Amino acid sequence: MAPRHFLDIIDIDAASLRAILDHAHAMKRDVRAAGPRGRIMSAAEGMALVMIFEKPSTRTRISFDIAMRQLGGWALVLNSSELQLGRGESIEDTARVLSRYGDAVMLRVDTHASLVEFAAHASVPVINGLSNLSHPCQIMADLMTLEEAKGPLGDQRVAWIGDGNNVAVSWIHAALRFGFPLRLACPPELSPDPALLEQVQGEGGDVILLTDPVEAVAGADCVVTDTWVSMGDEDAERRMTLLAPYQVDEALMARAGEGAIFMHCLPAYRGREVTAGVIDGKQSVVFEEAENRLHAQKAILAWCLEIEDC
Ligand code: CP
Ligand code: NVA
């Protein structure tokens, strides 16, 4: 049977995604009720997650490591430069070898195509821990956070402000699969791929690309932004200039819907994409969002490892 890869939200059917989110909510409740000494399950006993990072990470590496341990398994965290991959061993051979050792592999890659190639040759599940094109695990945690704060997803209007980057792409995938309205305000030079927008709109997704942040946040239940310079971007100065009108500040939040929340995947750069007043203010849920990486990833791991009844 083919392994259950978690490469992109758009690749997975809506029922499975809903089940993963429900499981994440349930496991969060269970962990809270159990307290620190009751967190460890036995569902993944004897199983190992191998993680390979081509770029830095705080949240993803630590939350996946702890998630795997809380499921009863364990994790190995490696930098790609420590592997023979860094000296030219092929992705195909690496995927075949790691499939003989681990029960799942999580990759953070510079180039999305490497992830797809790895998954094509792996006989165990492969998880996208961020690529240049998408960041699906982040958005599962974000959706969980949005539901906790505001209720069922279908009723929520989300506004993405700023760079049409990897995180924005996973929001677009999620809007289609979970059926909520998404408005994006991006400078035309930094817009998400028009072919993706066309595909999602063609499949019935309520996703609209705008350029005006005020128009995008009108009636929004959730306002989201991200860094203006992602890992691997080499045109920082150009980006700062293009994105200057897209800062999420108090005035923009005041134009969003009543009781709107603010989200950011972190790391954040106060005074650039968001003011300190917003990210450290009452509407911000960024630390709940960061915590939910742990719970959402436990549910993603459980689904990939086919132990989702735990
Ligand atoms: N949000 C996120 O993925 O953070 P890290 O880069 O620290 O993993
Ligand atoms: N868009 C950012 C997200 C970091 C978690 C990046 O790719 O660097």
What is the predicted pLDDT for the residue at 35?
A: 84
pTM: 0.98
Residue tagged active-site, from 186, 222, 265, 304: 265
What is the predicted pLDDT for the residue at 155?
A: 84
Q: Which ligand is nearest to the CA of 142?
A: 1
Cα dihedral sign, 239-240-242-248: positive
Report whether 223 contacts 161 (CB < 8 A): yes
pLDDT tens column, 14-44: 999 999 999 999 999 998 888 877 788 899 9
User: Which amino acid, 60?
Assistant: T
Which ligand 1 atom is nearest residue 55's CA?
6
Q: Which ligand is nearest to the CA of 170?
A: 2
Which ligand 1 atom is nearest residue 290's CA?
1
Q: Which ligand is nearest to the CA of 169?
A: 2
CA distance 186 to 149: 25
CA distance 233 to 196: 21
Report whether 107 contacts 128 (CB < 8 A): yes
Cα dihedral sign, 256-260-262-263: negative
Nearest-CA residue for ligand 2 atom 6 is: 230
The finding on whether 54 has its CB within 6 A of some atom of ligand 2 is no
> DSSP of 53-80, one letter per residue?
ESS--SHHHHHHHHHHHHTT-EEEEEEG
**Segments in the chain below pLDDT 50:** none
What is the predicted pLDDT for the residue at 21?
A: 98
Is 5 one of the catalytic residues?
no
> Would you mind telling me the total number of residues written for the chain in this entry?
310
User: Which amino acid, 91?
Assistant: I
CA–centroid distance, residue 227 to ligand 2 (Å): 7
Which residues form the pocket of ligand 1, taking CB atoms under 6 Å from any ligand atom?
A: 57-60, 130, 138, 265-266
What is the predicted pLDDT for the residue at 32?
A: 87
